[in-house]
Amino acid sequence: MINVFQPSLGEEELEAIREVFARNWLGYGPRTQAFETEFAAHLQVERDGVLFVNSCTSGLFMAMELLELGPGDDVVLPSVNFIANANAVAVTGAWPVFCDVDSRTLNPTVTDVERALTPRTKAVVVLHYGGHPGEIEGIAALCRERGVALVEDAACSIASSVNGTMCGTFGDIGVWSLDARKIITTGDGGVLRVRDPELARRAHRLAYHGMVDRSSFTAMADLRRRWWELAVQEIGRRSIGNDVTAAIGSVQLRRLAGFVARRRAIAETYDRLLAEVEGVRTPPPLPDGHVGSYYFYWVQLDAAIRDQVAEDLLDCGIYTTFRYPPLHRTSLYRSEARLPRTDEAAETTLLLPIHQGLTDEDVETVVGQLAKVVGNRGGGRVRR
């Protein structure tokens, strides 16, 4: 099976885990702190605002708590989105207000976000679809102008930037995913970055039960008497990462540039080989100054055949999918909002395999089979 997503792990990651085992400390410790420092350097941001957490979802839930959302608050987010974003909003008592997206990039435009703002809007959550930054500069400026917090779900965009600024750092809070399907992985895991220093300190407390310090992680016996006593300021939870997964993360982060370079080469091959395939529309090019992560590669087909094409490719041993089904259509968040470009994208878009483990032969096989099944299904011309 040629898969859509696939991690790249090897001996270097195993050796990093062995080193953690040899130190006999598996929890939050020196390797976690080192990884946080390395990730902050990757983002070109201050170290104290970065926290390694056990999942991107944990980071999103914490982001909404840090913003002190509650009943009566609205949060604008694109409907083409992962369910965790809406859940993180709704659990606070606030309500997600879904906005439309550009049907080609599947990212919201500034206009889409602005149209969805209400007098109750307290935050905007933006997903960089497939690693394409989208209109993040303009959306960030709009949020500053309106006094609305901006949260960036940068799960897909670990290497994406606009004019040298990394995606995830335009807003007040950014969250990255390191789960098993992402470009780099720690198995499960995520990174939270908080711009405001005081909110960042609160995030560190919330990530470990609301405790001011983590006495069990440090040699507190050398610093004070009765080191086992707790200093707890508020109710928190356990969302921290650990040295085993952080050790994997450090190795993966060093390999990131190579992974992205290979994914870029695959995307360029798809662009070239699919350019003349009738009935298949490829992703729009990145604007000047934009750098992508190439997490998704999507094509758009006639809606009448998209599902059948996916089934035919699966029969050929090629796994494709669509992410993310519109949240405004779900039973939990069903909305009366009219989002025509979201609906169009959801019915026509198909993600092709793209990961650094694909060979050139794999890519050629995907293109050849796609062209064949689209032709067999009578795929007509689509607007490029």
Which residues are identified as catalytic?
182
Burial of 290 (0-12, 13-18, 19+ CB in 10 A): middle
**Cβ-proximal residues to 59 (8 Å cutoff; 6+ apart), any chain:** 51, 53, 175, 176, 190, 191, 192, 239
Secondary structure (3-state) at 225: coil
**Which H helix or E strand runs over 50?**
strand 50-53
Give the Å distances, CA to CA, from 173 to 24, 133, 196, 361: 34, 16, 9, 41
Residue with tokens 């807003």: 171
Supply the DSSP symbol for 111: H
Measure the CA–CA gap between 1 and 287, rounded to whole angstroms: 34
Q: What does R_g of the chain's alpha carbons equal in angstroms? A: 22
